Structure 1
Amino acid sequence: MYRIDLHAHTRFFHGHRRLGDAYDPLGVRLLAGTARLRGLDGVATTNHDYYRSFDDELAGVAIIPGIEVSTTKGHVLVVGPDPPSETVRGELTPTEVVEIAHERDCAAIIAHPYRNSTVREVDASFDAIEVNGKHPRTRAWVERLADRHGLPMTGGSDVHYPPEVGRAYTAVDVTEPTPENVVAAIKDGRVEPRVDDWLPYQIIGRLYRYIHEDSDQFDRPEWATPGVGAPPEDD
């Protein structure tokens, strides 16, 4: 089993592309170095709406290509050997993203299904559903959702600051953590989400829950409690 964080970002800021492009080589090294300290074997670089190629391995940690696509209904992770290099925020439907992912031999994963997203309601050939490190208490909700759709679950920290890496990750049953092997494991269900309950991560999780609920980005399933937050409008 390899421990791979399947949702990570190389920068902690957005909206400054040229500055971000200059920072990314440092950001990925900080990410990989911290992942190594946390005992991870790999990390997927899933930056918002763009993919940038990095070394296959840094600091002894496998770097898995990926992108987090902002679809018309929320975010979808595309992870694998050949993710799209760039997407336009809010332009593609979840179904179109899944088709693009599969054409490129990648896996398509529903990201944080209860945060500012209605992707979970889309009937498309997703490969997995994520247990997100920012909201570990939603795991029971995700388990019920995954069971309903017959999909495996992955884990990802959704890290933007390097110290957050590994608060959620995926145990991947492969002989070697290559992008191709990781994709095959996801599609075969040879994955299991893990959540680190280290005290600092618990505190971070509570902080993110407060932030996202206060900004109306968090949506509880109707069967659990009355929903809060407004999901993206249908396009």
Structure 2
Amino acid sequence: MAGHSHWARIKRAKAVTDARRGKAWSKLSRAIIIAARSGGADPAMNLTLRYAIDAAKAANMPKDTIERAIKKGAGDLEGAEYVELVFEGYGPGGAAILCTAVTDNRNRTAPEVKRIFERHGGKLGASGSVAWMFAQRGVITVPGDQADEEKLTDIALECGADDIAADGDVFEIQCDPAVFEPLRQALADAGITPENASISKQPSTTVAVSGDQAEKLLKLIQELEDHDDVQDVYGNYELSVEDMERFAG
């Protein structure tokens, strides 16, 4: 029975892993579809599509799945009609939250997102209520074993990056979206492989959230991220190291 129980646990763990991977691939496919629809099916001419494809490849999405998503976005294959939605609101502790979603049914997604906010002590706001607090930024993270700080700093400054900071054994470079692609190419030319490279939204100011409010906020963020239609969740909150360790445990 012990062996059977062990195998059952393995199967359950695999099922959970497969489900998470399937959800991630679904979200990545939608990002590709939207990018191809809005900017064309050629990644050489559509940087948003190229970045979406890169993210899909990093998640080990099969090549044929990526190609189908591109064709759906370009209208070469039939598929669901997806629209992009942006939700703005506040969470516990007064944290501003910006949430993007891609859905084939806005009448399903909008009330579901609203309920998630309310369930965790948050509240949706009107369009524009918090978006002004966030700006698009290029964010590139590089493992410390890829290059030393001096070399990274030289490349980053030469390309016009705004900031480079060490976070443990990882370096984070931030830049204006206009220099993101030249910076990525310069790193590649130097033989440096980033851990992650994406255009993100960064808050102009942050608010400190702690204790029970921080716990409620993290539960809100987690449930939003787990929603099938939600693509990205951004917030302007700061948590203490103690709170982060407590909730991680």
TM-score range, shorter chain: under 0.3
Q: Give the structure with the higher percent helix.
A: 2
TM-score, normalised by the number of residues in structure 1: 0.26
Say which one has the larger Rg: 2
